[in-house]
Amino acid sequence: MNRIFSRVLALCAALCVLACAAPRADAAAPDPHAASAARQVLVMLRMPSPHFRPDGAYGGGYSDDGTRAARRRVARELAAAYGLRVVDDWPMPAIGIDCFVMEDTGSGPVDRLLDTLAHDPRVAWAQAIQDYHALGSGDPLLPVQPAAQLWQLKTLHRASTGRGVTVAVIDSGVDANHPDLAGQIKLRRNFVDAYPDASEAHGTAVAGIIAAREGNGLGIAGIAPDAKVMALRACWETAGPPARCNSFTLGKAINFALMNDVGIINMSLGGPKDKLLQALLDAALARGITLVGAADPALPDGGFPASHPGVIAVASDTQRAAPPGALRAPGTDVPASLPGARWGMVSGSSYAAAHVAGLAALILELQPGTAPPRLRADLAGGARVFPAALASGPGQAGSIDACAAIARAAGSCVCLCPSTTTTASLPSPRPR
């Protein structure tokens, strides 16, 4: 009886907090960008092979390679020839292309225009601008026991806290002044030219789950509290989904992450497959960067980028069905940071992915340079089928056993050994 009474009190307290913490839907701005974007395309022009490595101050803008003027002239010629208007452009040396945004000034089918552009020898390729959205619910849910208990977070932090690891959070804007994120943000960049930089709910929640400060007497503890976050705003929040992005904004942000020495890229978003983004993700994997993507529960394959080969796809632990090969992590009623020194409960695979990005940072501190396939194997090797996953039916992935995953990286027992059956015959730690 006392236990039930305590749960009722906790629920009432949580609802009071959430009444203040939940972001107001009517405060979100409409999205005037959507109408013009429907007639926009991306046109890729080849860049010369890079002969430099930018330093940490590199902002992802133009490099002085001596060919910028020539590429812009070609872009203007293409625009004049095909009835287009050059709107914007961004060099992406990570994959050797300069990406031009052009708007169709006519009224014909965009697919026909793309086919014509694809046959022009001056064009590497042309494509539509795809739309993406964050994969989380904006509504607070009933409080439950925190995910830190399921993963025995305090115990994990005795072995690793993510020190020395940088996680790129490609998302909506992050509140760098939030008390749980003060000092945790390595840098912020805004790649959404149509909207001024802002502190937004989805990005702030994802960043907090990954790297919120531990032991500061406030809010939550991040999965990797000593990791640093590179907050790359490629999405914006409107009255629609939790956050929206597109091929161009995401491409700029991923290219920036590739050029600035990150260990992990977290993408708590989903949408259609995209040639530009696929090329950038392949370049990231070739550089040994771990990619984490949220699995869209509405799509059998989890959607893109979660379905891209090499990306660690993550579903919520209570999701009815998970895509083949996806991992499960806490994603329901998760305490998270919100803009304006607030906290609230969030749910969705967006936040499950943030858990796995943080756990990957713990592994990379223990074993720097771990290749993405090996890191995913460490995570998947500790999967257990918890009751929530059993409801999904045979063959569904189990929730990650974080203790077993960290024990593999550390080469020794981390949590209570009897509860971690997979640690009975742990290998020696891999050479650093």
How many whole angstroms separate alpha carbon 198 and alpha carbon 195? 8
DSSP 8-state assignment for residue 398: P
**Would you state the structure tokens that stand for residue 172, as one six-digit string?**
């909506």
**What residues does 86 pair with on adjacent strands?**
102
3 state SS of 132: strand
For residues 91-114, b (16+ Cβ closer than 10 Å) or e, as one string? bbbbbbbbbbbbbbeeeeeeeebb
Element of type H or E holding 186: strand 185-190
Question: CA 191, 197, 200 angle in degrees (round to 5)?
Answer: 105
Q: Which residues pair with 126 in a beta bridge?
A: 43
Edge-to-edge strands, sheet with 84-92: 84-92, 97-104, 40-46, 125-128
Q: 129 by DSSP, 3-state: which?
A: coil
Just list the catalytic residues: 171, 202, 350
Helices (H), 348-401: 349-366, 372-380, 387-390
Give the span between the Cα atoms of 350 and 354, in whole angstroms. 7
**How many Å from the N-terminal Cα to the C-terminal Cα in the chain?**
52
